Amino acid sequence: MHVSKAGFTAHSGKIAALLAVLSAAAFVGAVVLPAPHLGLDSGDQDWMAAGIVTLFVAATSTLIQRKQMSHERLWLQREYTTNIVQMAMDDPVYAQCWGPRVTPPDMDERLFYYVNMMLTVWSYAWEQRQIGDQQVRAYIRASFESEVSREYWRIFGAWRSHSRRRRERAFYQMIADEYRRAVESGPPSRSYEPPMNLATPLDPKSSRAKRRRSKSSGWPRQP
């Protein structure tokens, strides 16, 4: 699924159209309403109307620009984060820079990075109203058929749900609801499938990785 800035652009167009309508209404109100009470001639009415409309348009334009700047900062922040995560996916050696392992011992960390990117894409699309609640829930239900996605949310769901942004918290609440339903429905239909090069994210020496896999009895299951 590809998400661009088109959603915000469409909303900006709607806001601009609304601004034009409100400006016309302000002009009419400024000309018609004060005249009987203030005894203004036509010239004074025109100047006052122009001043009111100018102030109204300037104030509204400032609000739109502030919203757009906030949107651009959020977009850049997410883009930078995605680029950093992508580096660890391309070359697992960078994963150690993030600190302790983010996955159970025998699960490839790159899969958790990918789940994180999926959620970020869906979150942005939902916030920009490119997809609705039902579509989000359908994506999440399908994702939680995978053992990897369930493990990701089991470990990091509580942390993701404490976002400072209200809209983002609402999005992750939908995921939490679907996770609870998935767990109650039984085990996932798709178990973890180790990649052929599992030795790469664990250890550069394949013999050590093989010994680690042979000694492991499996990754922690859901409570």
Q: What is the pLDDT of residues 120-179, one digit of tens each?
A: 899 989 988 999 999 999 999 999 999 999 999 999 998 888 877 888 899 999 999 999
State the average pLDDT over residues 103-127: 92
With b for 16 or more beta-carbon neighbours within 10 A and e for fewer, the 42-56 pattern comes to: eeebeebbeebbeeb
The Cα–Cα gap between 1 and 19 comes to 32
- Strand-pair partners of 146: 190
Tell me what pLDDT residue 8 has.
46
Tell me what pLDDT residue 128 has.
86
Residue closest to 175 by CA, chosen among 131, 142, 137 = 137
Instruction: For the chain, give the number of residues.
Output: 223
Q: What is the pLDDT of residues 30-81, one digit of tens each?
A: 544 554 555 555 555 566 666 666 766 666 777 667 667 766 776 677 677 7
Structure tokens at 195: 């990649």
Q: CB neighbours of 141 closer than 8 A, spacing ≥ 6? A: 178, 181, 182
Task: Give the burial class of 17: count Cβ atoms within 10 A of its Cβ; 0-12 exposed, 13-18 middle, 19 or more buried.
Answer: exposed
More confident residue, 23 or 87: 87
Q: What is the pTM of this model?
A: 0.58
Residue 38: Cβ within 10 Å count: 10
Matching residue, tokens 């651009």: 72
Tell me what pLDDT residue 137 has.
97
